[in-house]
Structure 1
Amino acid sequence: MAEEHEETLNEDNGNQETITKVTGMYKDWFLDYASYVILERAVPAIEDGFKPVQRRIMHSMKDLDDGRYNKVANIVGHTMQYHPHGDASIADAMVQIGQKDLLIDTQGNWGNILTGDRAAASRYIEARLSKFALDVVYNPKITEWQASYDGRRKEPINLPVMFPLLLAQGGEGIAVGLSTKILPHNFIELIDASVKHLKGKRFTLYPDFPTAGIADITNYNDGMRGGKVRVRAKIAQHDKNTLAITEIPYGTTTSSLIDSILKANDKGKIKIKKIEDNTAAEVEILIHLPSGLSPDKTIDALYAFTNCETSISPLGCVIEDNKPFFVGVAEMLRRSTDNTVQLLKQELEIKLGEFEEQWHFASLERIFIENRIYRDIEEEETWEGVIKAIDKGLQPHIKHLKREVTEDDIVRLTEIRIKRISKFDIDKAQQKIEALEDQIAEVKHHLANLIDYAIAYFERLKKDYGAGKERKTELRVFDDVDATKVVIRNTKLYVNREEGFVGTSLRRDEYVCDCSDIDDIIVFTEEGKMMVTKVDSKTFVGKNIIHVAVFKKKDKRTIYNMIYRDGKKGPSYVKRFAVTSITRDREYDMTNGNKGSVVWYFSANPNGEAEVVTVDRKST
């Protein structure tokens, strides 16, 4: 059972607060749950780039692979032998892998990442492993295995993926207390970066999105926490009154993009006449503008007020040694490439062992048949005698072999059929042995020059699978769009000077100017007080207003001229100044601060023009 400890805190005001600390079973359960979600569901492993459900799907597809398409429902059912969760989560994960168009060769309606349309039901769509997946993901001889959740089957701990798959596909997940968001990168650029790493050269990696678009990676921060990528739709002027969106930002769909444009139009931030969505295989959204509206200004407004520009915050988190590990994309690439080199080494060592074993038995077989050692067993009546007779007959001829002859070798010799002995061709046998020797020498050469072999491997991947995988997302540094300059002036500003109110709902009072609901306004009063506040329906800023206008940040051109009396009986002063930066809703005193100060004269010149003021002196 859980244990509960109660502590009572007495506060100064006399109130009592009870804190109950939950320990024991509840604490253990939560830690177990959090660990499970982090390790077994949400975060990919650094070794192969897969989450457990993805790894089990790929393993099941290899189980079923015969070169033909399988119903996805069939693959999902087969995966349930390894994955202790429902079929819906497996089907969803499989559709996500299929939409990335790298590991799965799909057939049927697998949805559309551009429009957000969902895939058809798993009983209607089919899949098989792509040639790329068969080439880089599997090798049962170098795979470490573990028992499945019910102990009936074996599943891979990690698949021997010989490619930076996680960086190519990207991945995201929300666990307990942490999340991950690794952005997708370009296939060819990843291979080039791996080759540069193997050659000891520097490399840089930037994201490349399947939805294309434009990206500003100035603050990418190597894909680590705190970084930011700004992504934009590609918008061009179709004709005088029409804009065309042909590429969309990553993380949006044509539907969500159109919704955000309509919402901005409803709020008066932009003005559009009509939207047409002609998206099919390629994105095409036509935005029809009212006549007389600037297309360039509207494009800036779309970036400022709609999902035509979004911001993505990457977060590189992976599982390493059963623990979450925060890492940048460059280090992920280095580790993946180094892991690929080790996997290639293991593969070569296994091949070398197999070739040497084949050479050993081919040599033994030739000695056994060429020297007619099989005749030595004719007189033997026991199995032990047969083994000893063959062993004795082999001894004079095995000095050139690379290992000792075992009893298993001799047993294999006894299994050679008479037909094979009668048709044995010494020349062909020698050719086979020489071919094996060439293969052994080649593998030993690769092992001795492992880095060169790995570079050649990556270059082959690029040659075989790089076609059509060129960069889609254009990289560009964005100019910041000043929202106040591109927003449509969708409302009117009014002022009640005597009572000190400004706002958009004071229609009975004095009209000031057109404004938008994101503008700031600047106000001066007769007492010499100044305030900047956001446009609202009605705001009190101070009685006896002498000047009100829309405020522009960092405005050095607008110059204010003020003549004021300092206090009730003090001298008068002339002041000329600009207002470039302020704290919103804070009251500033533009006089010396003495009580009873009053402004005699005030003007605001938008271009800093000089003024001549005539002052009449009167004796009192």
Structure 2
Amino acid sequence: MPSRSAPPPNDVRERIVDIDVEQEMQGAFLEYAYSVIYSRALPDARDGLKPVQRRILFMMQDMGLVPVRAHVKSARVVGEVMGKLHPHGDVAIYDALVRQAQPFTMRLPLVDGHGNFGSLDAGPAAQRYTEARMAPAALLMTTGLDEDVVDFVPNYDDRLKEPGVLPAAFPNLLVNGASGIAVGMATNMPPHNLVEVVGAARHLLKHPEADLPALMRHVPGPDFPTGGRIVGLEGIKDAYATGRGTFRTRATVRIEKIGRRQGIVVTELPYGVGPERLVEKIADNVKNKRLQGIADVTDLSDRHKGLRLVIEVKNGFVPEAVLEHLYRLTPMEESFGINNVALVEGQPRTLGLKELLEVFIGHRLDVVRRRTAFRLRKAQDRLHLVDGLLLAIVDIDEVIAIVRSSDDAAAALARLVERFSLSENQGRYILDMQLRRLTRFSRIELEREQAELQALIADLESILADEQKLRTLVGEELGQVAAEHGTPRRTVLLTSSGPSPAAGATQLEIEDDPCWVLMSSTGLLARTSSIEPLGTEGRRSRHDLVVAVAPATARGDVGVITSAGRLVKVSVLELPTLPPVAGRPNVSGGTGVKEFVTFAKGERALTIVPLPVPGVEDPDDPGFALATASGVVKRLLPEPLTRPEVDVIALKDLSARQKDEVVAAVSLTSGQEDLVFITTDAQLLRFPASLVRPQGRGAAGMAGIKLSPGARVVSMSAVGPDAVDPVVVTVAGESGGGVSQVGSAKVTPLSEYPSKGRATGGVRCHRFARGEDTLLLAWAGSNPEAATSTGAAVALPGAQGRRDGSGTALDKPVAALGGTPSTS
């Protein structure tokens, strides 16, 4: 036995290699850094996914876990991904799967989770307890993988193939954002609104030279799934220009009366902030005496009503001042740093908004081009077989004779190819066909298929030959994705005006200056100090239609009238301020009326009306008028509200299951206006508003228009004697089709309709065409405009003199009408 000092055997000594430790450490660190950057932490700019996320979606599709199939255990998905594609541990895979299923993290979730997938304050349940399947949006990421649209690469052990990138039918990186920490670099990208991002991508497809301001008209800023507010847009502009920037996010709050105290009610928190974390931070600050004036904090959040955190303020403290300290000392105001780092052609790059869109558009153009080429090859191959089959059917007797007289299949194939000048594929297809395909009817079918294939091939070849047609196709597909999966904006964007609350300013320092409160057709509220936007050209927002305008003061109130006959007080101070402009206001940065009014099922906001300040009532103010579906009209005089809400009309029961509802409310400016009632059966009644005497809030109103059986009031407008060229706009359609149908519209001068007495039947204002039996919408006033349910403008036909003529077909469904009525 050799001693310890004896040298090792020669075979051992030969395997010892002397290396430099410094070089070995550098090489090992570079390999590790490379692996983290390219295989773990950074997303691909094309599909916006990290490798583990991409592998999860690909494997779920391979397992058939589409939205129409049942959920399966998350552990099963994790096992398949780990065993076949991602051998790096089940914890990382499950964490990635959970993130793609969290609606408070992803703006458009890609995984449909069933079970406890965590919250902002707590982690998810173990993978053996939860279930998952693909969400509808995930199908958009993987559709087309079987059509050679992307390259496949070997998996870790070179036994399977996986896609190097997914087709991604929408800009996932911008819509859902991303975060990750690599070696020496990191990424932090906020989510955005799908409709806005698609709008910018389509604009860039049509105008490749578009600059950043043009794109930001479509994408004004991030849109977090948890809502909240973004204060200050300069950091967003920097990030969109350079890929790096910082902005502030705030909670959405309102001040309410909580018992005998004032309270601060939090309904939305900054992105990534949970209510438990906020409550804990408030408690720590109160305990350390850094935060004063707070009596209690109650979390009333639930699954149905969402977040509701009530912070009670002690008597003697100003809620606005307490709110300032909450912004400064708690996560109710947070900073978000954008760092748009993603992989482009295998290299990490910092990208601005235009660069991110260009990378996605380039990827999508390549996907659609490859898909078109694949479909072209398939169509050409099929046409080749159909052509050969038609040749054989022409002389089928000879084909049968050749087959019967041949010794074997190979001989029959050779003879068929020689006799009919066929290719081997055509000959083999003829030999394999069934005898039932030889009927005369089959020939007709083949000729029809031949014509269809020839038309398809011509269309596909034209797409591949024309770059502009390819871009148009990509834009149309993006528009369809936005229409099917788009949702309204949740995060409110506020321009920074003056010092930040965190810098010591309070809302009490706002002067009680006159202002105007605007309400859009999609239910957004905002205020502006400028009167200029309210003229003839000012009621049209760049993103919406302004349907109501009410004068107010910055510390005053306005009233929201609902279809249930309620008048709800809204503080003007809580509304976002629009910057003074000389043109049209942009209400897209407004706050939804649902933030201030809790609606019952089926209830909706109709308009806003001014509320007088106690002690300064105007005795000459004519007030406002209401109209109900059953033809009732009521006029009320303005009065200060001492309660958050009141009922302004006693609605009657139309039947055992149906109650009357308010369909229109208009403010009166002089009391000399004409009220214009329009019904579903196209009857119009015009009578002076002075015929309606004012009543108290508890009254049920009086007869406004006499209705035919089955008819109901669709609108009521107020038109003053000074209105400029007032018209009547009617939109007809089919009953039961809803306002989403594309109907016909007619514009007629109001002078064509005579003024009559109250409670009469009116005159016909629209002749229904074939397929029409009801009026969907109607309106009377000056400078009419129309909008879709998303606020997009719809062109109306020119005015015609026939008061009972038919309408002109529209190109889009109209959901709202407006203009410049004299009551504005």
Q: 224, 234, 248: which is aligned to 1:218?
A: 234
The one-character-per-residue Cα deviations of 1:541-572 (angstroms, maximum 9, x if unpaired) are xxxxxxxxxxxxxxxxxxxxxxxxxxxxxxxx
Aligned to 1:560: none
After superposition, the CA RMSD in angstroms is: 2.1
Please report how far the alpha carbon of residue 105 of structure 1 lies from its aligned counterpart in structure 2 after TM superposition: 2.1
CA distance in 1, matches of 2:298, 2:40: 40
Q: Residue 425 of structure 2 aligns to a residue in which SS?
A: helix
Within the alignment, does 1:159 sit opposite 2:166 as a pair?
yes
Q: Could you tell me how far apart the structure 2 residues matched to 1:420 and 1:172 are?
A: 58
1:410 Cα deviation from its structure 2 partner: 1.8
TM-score by length of 2: 0.53
Q: Decide whether aligned partners of structure 1 residues 351 and 242 sit closer, same or farther in structure 2, where only a CA change above 3 A counts.
A: same
Amino acid at match of 1:76: V
Equivalence for 2:290 = 269
**Structure 1 residue 2, shift from structure 2 partner:** 7.2
1:450 alignment partner AA: L
**Correspondence list, 1:607-618, <5 A:** none
What does residue 124 of structure 1 align with?
Answer: 129
CA distance in 1, matches of 2:18, 2:181: 28
- The alpha-carbon deviation at position 348 of structure 1 amounts to 1.4
Who wins on radius of gyration, i.e. which is larger?
1
Name 1:10's counterpart in structure 2: none
Distance in 2, Cα, partners of 1:268 & 1:289: 15
Distance 1:322 1:90 in 2: 22
Q: Is the 8 A contact 1:374 1:390 kept in 2?
A: no
Tell me which of 464, 477, 482 is aligned to 2:495.
477
Map 1:585-600; keep pairs closer than 5 Å: none
Report the counterpart of residue 814 of structure 2 in structure 1.
none
User: More relative contact order in 1 or in 2 (CA 8 Å, sep 6+)?
Assistant: 1
Following superposition, the deviation at residue 267 of structure 1 comes to 2.8
Aligned residue for 1:390? 416
Pick from 84, 96, 99: which aligns with 2:99?
96
User: For residues 20-61 of structure 1, what are the alpha-carbon distances to aligned partners after superposition, in whole Å with 9 as ceiling and x for unaligned?
Assistant: xx5221111111011111111111111221111101101110
Matched with 2:301 is 279
2:274 alignment partner, one of 253, 260, 274:
253
Partner of 1:108: 115
CA contact (8 A) 1:180 1:317 kept: yes
Match of 2:215 in 1: 203
Equivalent position to 1:182, from 189, 192, 195: 189
CA contact (8 A) 1:110 1:119 kept: yes
Distance 1:97 1:455, change over 3 A: same
Q: 189-198 or 258-267, which moves further after superposition?
A: 258-267
Report how many residues are paired: 456
3-state DSSP class of the match of 1:307? coil
* Matched AA of 1:296: E
Matches within 5 A, 1:125-524: 125-140=130-145, 141=147, 142-200=149-207, 201=210, 202-204=214-216, 205=219, 206-216=221-231, 217-220=233-236, 221-223=238-240, 224=242, 226-239=244-257, 240-271=261-292, 272-281=294-303, 282-372=306-396, 373-395=399-421, 405-421=422-438, 425-447=442-464, 448=466, 449-466=469-486, 469-478=487-496, 479-481=499-501, 483=503
Shift of 1:279: 1.6
- For 1:178 and 1:251, the matched residues in 2 are separated by 21
2: distance between equivalents of 1:136 and 1:433? Answer: 33
Residues 61-120 of structure 1: CA distance to partner in whole angstroms, max 9, x if unpaired? 01111533221111111111210111111111100011124322222222234xx23222
Q: How far apart are 1:456 and its partner, in Å?
A: 1.1
Unaligned runs of 5+ in 2: 1-16, 507-824
Deviation string 1:186-228 (CA, Å, 9 cap, x unpaired) is 1111111111111104312321111111002321213555410
Closer, same or farther: CA 485–380 of 1 in aligned 2, 3 Å: closer
Tell me if the contact between 1:2 and 1:26 (Cα under 8 Å) persists in the aligned partners.
no
Q: Which amino acid aligns with 1:348?
A: T
The one-letter code of the counterpart of 2:63 is L
Alpha-carbon distance between aligned partners in 2 of 1:255 and 1:196, rounded to the nearest angstrom: 42
Deviation at 1:3, TM superposition (A): 5.0
- Contact 2:227/2:491 (CA < 8 Å) preserved in 1? yes
Q: 1:352 to 1:484 in 2, by over 3 A?
A: closer
SS in 2 for 1:441: helix
Question: 5 Å matches for 1:79-90?
Answer: 79-80=81-82, 81-90=84-93
Q: Equivalent residue for 2:599? A: none
Q: Is the 8 A contact 1:72 1:127 kept in 2?
A: yes
Deviation at 1:431, TM superposition (A): 1.6
User: Counterparts of 2:504 and 2:200 in 1: how far apart (Å)?
Assistant: 42
**Partner of 2:338: helix, strand, or coil?**
coil
The separation in 1 between residues aligned to 2:360 and 2:174, in whole angstroms, is 10
1: CA distance between counterparts of 2:54 and 2:505? Answer: 51
Distance 2:442 2:93 in 1: 55
Distance 2:137 2:438 in 1: 43
Partner of 1:241: helix, strand, or coil? strand
Match in the other structure for 1:518: none
Could you list the per-position Cα deviations for residues 419-475 of structure 1 after superposition, in whole angstroms to 9, with x for gaps in the alignment?
A: 433676322221222222233333344443112211211111112212xx2111100
State the alpha-carbon separation in 1 of the partners of residues 42 and 202 from structure 2.
27
AA aligned to 2:458 is A
Sequence identity percentage: 27
The 2-side partners of 1:425 and 1:242 are apart by: 78
1 CA distance for matches of 2:382 and 2:505?
A: 78
TM-score scaled by length of structure 1: 0.70
Q: Counterparts of 1:429 and 1:226 in 2: how far apart (Å)?
A: 60
Letter in 1 for 2:215: F
Residues 281 and 330 in structure 2, CA contact (< 8 A), matched pair in contact too: yes
* Distance (whole Å) between structure 2 residues aligned to residue 422 and residue 289 of structure 1: 87
What's the CA shift string for 1:125-146, capped at 9, x where partnerless? Answer: 2222123322343322223111
1:180–1:485 distance in 2 versus 1, CA, 3 Å: closer
Counterpart of 1:319 in 2: which secondary structure?
A: strand
Counterparts of 1:428 and 1:225 in 2: how far apart (Å)? 57
2: distance between equivalents of 1:109 and 1:453? 40
Shift in CA distance, 68/394, structure 1 to aligned 2, threshold 3 Å: farther
CA distance in 1, matches of 2:504, 2:18: 58
Q: Secondary structure at the match of 2:98?
A: helix
Instruction: Work out whether residues 169 and 478 of structure 2, in 8 Å CA contact, stay in contact via their aligned partners in 1.
Output: no
Contact 1:376 1:393 in 2 (8 A): no
The one-letter code sitting in structure 2 at the alignment partner of 1:129 is M
CA distance in 1, matches of 2:364, 2:285: 49
User: 2-side partners of 1:249 and 1:278: how far apart?
Assistant: 18
The corresponding residue for 2:29 is: 30
Preserved contact between residue 2 and residue 25 of structure 1 (Cα < 8 Å): no
Distance 1:392 1:476 in 2: 78
